[in-house]
Amino acid sequence: MTDASIIALYLKRSEQAIAESQNAYGRYCYRVAEGILNDVSDSEESVNDTWLAAWDSIPPTLPQSLRAYLGTLTRRTKPSQFVVYLPDELYEKVLQLMTSCGFASVQEFLETSLSGIVEDASKSEMV
């Protein structure tokens, strides 16, 4: 099925659009996610998030290249999907440092830190 046909399915709000996207670009999106996450289950979850993001964004977005668009959505994996494994001693030191800076949890630290990055990126895109 062509990109135009798949996009037409999205515009009609047909759930077949997701199935056709997966048939056409599922392996590609999985390879993109695997290259970032290096984990099978996280990559599968990321690709599933890609289909939801495509469903939510088409329309109003009308991508010229569906492959490129889906690849971009896949690359925008949520930070919560990245898992960092630290040795217990190092984790304890990092946790102590964050709490001494006034953060109640790792989640609060990440949300606060990442929100500044997202805001800065949004401002630079406006220019």
pTM: 0.63
Closest by CA to 76, choosing from 93, 53, 108, is 53
Task: Check whether 26 has a pLDDT greater than 80.
Answer: yes
Claim to verify: residue 63 and residue 95 sit in the same structural domain = no
Tally of domains within the chain: 2
Q: Residues 97, 61: one domain? A: no
Domain with residue 43: its CATH number is 1.10.1740
Helical H runs in 1-127?
Answer: 3-11, 16-37, 40-57, 66-75, 88-100, 106-126
pLDDT tens digits, one per residue of 29-46: 999 999 888 888 888 999
Q: Higher-confidence residue: 106 or 80?
A: 106
Which pLDDT does position 36 carry in this prediction?
Answer: 84
Residue range(s) defining the domain that contains residue 121: 88-126
Asked if pLDDT for residue 114 goes beyond 80, the answer is: no
Co-location of 74 and 114 in the same domain: no
Same domain? For 50 and 96 the reply is no
Two tokens at 33?
């996610």
83 inside domain: no
In a domain, 118, yes or no: yes
Q: What are the tens digits of pLDDT across the range 36-76? A: 888 888 889 999 999 999 999 999 999 999 999 999 999 98
